[in-house]
Amino acid sequence: MSVLDAPLPGMNLPSRDPDTWPSVPFQRVVVKFGTNLLTGGTDRLNLETMAALVGQLARLHQEGREVIVVSSGAVAAGRHRLGAVHGLQHTPLRQVCAAVGQSLLMEAYDQLFRWHDITVAQTLVTKTDLADRLSYLNARTTLLSLMDLRVISIVNENDVVAVDELENATFGDNDALSALIANLVDADVLVLLSDINGLYTSDPAADPSALHISLVPRVDAAIEQLAGKTVGARSRGGMVAKLQAARTATAGGAAVIIANGREPGVLVKLAHGDACGTLFLPSASKVESRKRWMLSGLSRRGSLAVDTGAANALTHQNRSLLPAGVVEVKGAFSRGDIVAVEAAEGREIAYGIVNYSAEELGKLAGLRSSEIEPVLGHHYGDEVIHRNNLVVL
C-alpha cells in the first residue's frame, strides 16, 4: 500500500495513482551501489549480484544512455582479503582495507564490464577535491569526456586519504558523494540502490503497518522525520544519508530514486518508466554551474542561523538575506566566502556568498540594513547574502 492513499499531515502529497510516476528523463544517469547490496549482507563482494547489476548497466549503455557508477565496497573487499582483522573502526586500519580492496573492486568491475565490451575508468575523489573550484571543474571535464568516449566511470571516495570522511559516521555510504557527482555532471536522475525499496512511514522490518511512499514532491522537514537512524553493520549509509543526498541532488535539478537493487532488472525497469521504489522530484530546474558548486556545501566556511521570517523569505519568496533575519553567526569566514544558512534546529536551507565577514555579521545580526554603515563605518550592500548569490536547498 502506498502512503499516497493516506497522506501524512503536512506532507502535501498529490492525489494521484500511486503506481503512475511522472515522466523522468533517463538519458544521463548516476547510479550508486551500497555496500550491503554489493556484498549481499555478507563479508565479501557478491560477484553474482554485481554481474546482474553490470548486465543492467550494459543494457542502458547499449540503449545510448550515459552512465556513471558511484560504488561502495572497497573496504569490505579489503577486509575480506586481509582475513580476521580486529579494530576496524580505527581509521588507519580502515584505510588499509580500502587500499587493498579498491583494486579488487575495480578488477571485478573491469572483468564484468568486459563481458559486454564496455571500458571502465576508475575515479577516486575526496571532499577536498570537490571543494576547490578548479579541481571541481577539472573533475567535471574528465567525467564528461569519459562519457563522450562511451566509458563508464566507477567513482569512489578516496578512503585511503579521506580521513575526515572515514571518521565521520554520518557522511553516508557514498550517498552524499553520489549526489555531488549527479550535480557535477548535470545528471537527469540519481538512482540510489540499496537493500530497501525506498522510503516508508516507519521501519518496515520492525513495523508491519509501515506504508511505502511512492512519490515525494519535495524533501522537507516532515519527510526527513520519517528516516530511521539505524546504520547497517557493513555500510555507513542509512535512510537519513539517502534523504540528505536526495535533497542535494533534487536542489540541483536531478530526480532521485531510492530502490531495492535486489529486484530483478530494477535499473532497466526504471529507465523504461516503471515505478520502483521512491521517486523524489527535482525541486528546481538545472541550476548554473557556480550554484551547483555552492550546493555541494564542501567549500563552506561557516553558517548563519536565521529566524522564521527570514527562512520563509528565502525559501518561498526568492528574497535576499538581510541582517535583521540573522540570529546567530557560526564559524570564521570572510567576505566572499560561502556559508550555510540554517533555520530552526540547525536545518540547512540554503548556501550563499556573504557580503560581510563573520566578525562584521556578529555586530550586524538583528539590525536593520540602514544601520550597517553607522555600525561598521563602511557598506558593502544592504544584503548579507544577495538572492543572486544564494541557492536554496
Q: Which domains does the chain have, with CATH numbers?
A: 23-291 (3.40.1160.10), 299-392 (2.30.130.10)
d(CA 263, CA 298): 34
Q: Looking at residue 35, what is its pLDDT?
A: 87
d(CA 293, CA 290): 5
Q: Is the Cβ–Cβ distance between 123 and 109 less than 8 Å?
A: no
What one-character-per-residue DSSP string does 152-197 give?
EEEEEE-TTT-HHHHH-TTSTTTHHHHHHHHHHTT-SEEEEEESS-
d(CA 79, CA 39): 12
Q: Which three cell numbers stand for residue 4?
A: 499516497
| In the block, residue with C-alpha cell 537512524 | 229
Q: Are strands 199-200 and 189-194 parallel, antiparallel or unpaired?
A: unpaired
Length of the chain: 393
Q: Looking at residue 110, what is its pLDDT?
A: 96
Q: Looking at residue 365, what is its pLDDT?
A: 93
Model-level pTM?
Answer: 0.77
Residue 384: name the closest of 332, 328, 320, 327 by CA.
320
User: Three-class SS of residue 226?
Assistant: coil
d(CA 129, CA 284): 26
Q: Is the Cβ–Cβ distance between 338 and 390 less than 8 Å?
A: no
10-residue mean pLDDT profile of the chain (393 residues): values are 37 41 87 90 88 96 96 87 65 79 93 97 84 81 93 87 47 78 93 90 82 88 70 55 90 92 94 91 77 75 92 90 94 89 87 91 93 92 89 84
